[in-house]
Amino acid sequence: MIQIHQGVDIVDIARFRDVAFRNADFFADIFTEGEREYCSSQKNAELHFAGRFAAKEACLKALGMGLSSAGMGHALQEIEITRHASGRPALSLNGWAASVSRRKGIYQHTISISHTDHTAVASVVMVADKKEEDFMLQRS
């Protein structure tokens, strides 16, 4: 049976900026080196960081988790937002995120990120061929 898992997240840019710049380790804890390099090279870098943060949260939601169950810090680095050659965003799951994805039978995913000067939004859609009950049994 095919299942669709979707996660959406919206980030307020001003609030994100306040939280991110108040904590010296925030960027190193949340974003991979590649993400930091890409976002820092862009005009209005905070918009790109906020978009990627929204994408990571949307991914967690699509996986049926939240920040509290995934934990902050290096766990979020295992959800990496990369780019296709065309420039559109791509999702790369590593470590625990890849493990959860495999257990849920997810074989395809897509990601969309957009932002204005005030908000960033991301949507992640995942397609699985496994029943949710199978995942719950494996977790027990």
pTM of the model: 0.87
Comparing CA positions, the residue from 74, 120, 125, 127 lying closest to residue 97 is 74
Q: Using CA atoms, how far apart are residues 137 and 24, in angstroms rounded to an integer?
A: 40
What's residue 41's pLDDT? 96
Q: Using CA atoms, how far apart are residues 55 and 7, in angstroms rounded to an integer?
A: 9
What's residue 27's pLDDT? 93
What's residue 74's pLDDT? 52
Listed as own residue / partner, the contacts of 64-72 with beta carbons closer than 8 Å and 24 or more positions apart are 64/5, 64/104, 64/132, 64/135, 65/100, 70/96, 70/97, 72/29, 72/30
The one-digit pLDDT tens for each residue of the chain (140 residues) are: 899 999 999 999 999 999 998 888 899 989 999 999 999 999 999 999 999 999 999 999 999 887 665 555 557 899 999 999 999 999 999 998 999 999 999 999 999 999 999 999 999 999 999 665 555 545 44
CATH of span 3-139? 3.90.470.20
| Domain residue ranges of the chain, discontinuous segments joined by + | 3-139
